[in-house]
Structure 1
């Protein structure tokens, strides 16, 4: 029955299908972001930092790395690039003297807001008669997969 939980083997097969789509989806989305950002000149990495700060407010580089499952060094390079362009700035962190908070500047907030508006306009053209229930189910599956990958011990 289509609405009953899948057994382990069938679940593994169906989730493998999801992974087979998520990889190409992610890479194509990256290319589109790079194509659609010439006005801001944002790399995918800088865009990710700006969006994370837009969503969460000021954060430290280690916090951003953990949130995105990226190395602290990579995030630091993206923060440095954004800072050189005046899109982010650092501020003292009352919770930790050696790890400054990174926050959006007005220019950074404007850049990520403009980019998100263009992305929303593009995504609104996806079509395909998708329903809210289908999108909710997709989000539930992807969230569960992320939670599993965060919790799984591969040793």
Structure 2
């Protein structure tokens, strides 16, 4: 493989590992609140503004079907509810219930503590650089895979 191919492969493998680390940390954070990382990922998209399943899927980079299954589970568990969407009759909006907001708020202090520990390792500017690099890589992949 070429040097550029090796670099892109290394970037992908690093992101896959990072994704696994985030999922593991997310499960650890979500479990005491009675949630899974998948539930948290969907529910945390809507605390301030209800969204359709398709909007949540686009925001989180997930499939619409996967978000629909998770949203339905959140509703079944009383953590979220659907409300009418004035812009689209069939695409209802998902919003957290009081129980769902309490679960999100239960996770927040532990997330903040984890964030502080990561900043202790990388420094605030270091974490900002990582975020910017990841955003640039994501934008580049969007650009080159649209063709």
- Deviation digits for residues 113-155 of structure 1, max 9, x if unmatched? 2212212112312333x33332222111111111122232366
Please identify runs of 4+ aligned residues in structure 1 that moved more than 6 A.
9-12
CA distance in 2, matches of 1:12, 1:136: 26
Scaled by the length of structure 1, what TM-score is found?
0.80
Given candidates 2, 23, 46, the residue that maps to 1:53 is: 46
Q: Name the CA shift for 1:136/1:15 in 2 (closer, same or farther; >3 Å).
A: farther
| SS class of match (1:108) | helix
Given candidates 75, 94, 100, the residue that maps to 1:102 is: 94
Match of 2:80 in 1: 88
Q: Say if 2:42 is the partner of 1:42.
A: no
Bigger Rg over Cα? 1
| SS class of match (2:126) | helix
| SS class of match (1:107) | helix
Contact 2:30–2:37 (Cα < 8 Å) also in 1: no
Contact 2:50–2:93 (Cα < 8 Å) also in 1: yes
How far apart are residue 48 of structure 1 and its match?
0.5
Q: Name the CA shift for 1:37/1:137 in 2 (closer, same or farther; >3 Å).
A: closer
Match of 2:71 in 1: 79
Structural mapping, 1:1-155, within 5 Å = 16-54=9-47, 57-126=49-118, 127-128=120-121, 130-153=122-145
How far apart are residue 14 of structure 1 and its match?
5.3
**Structure 1 residue runs without a partner (length 5+):** 1-8
CA distance in 2, matches of 1:113, 1:11: 43
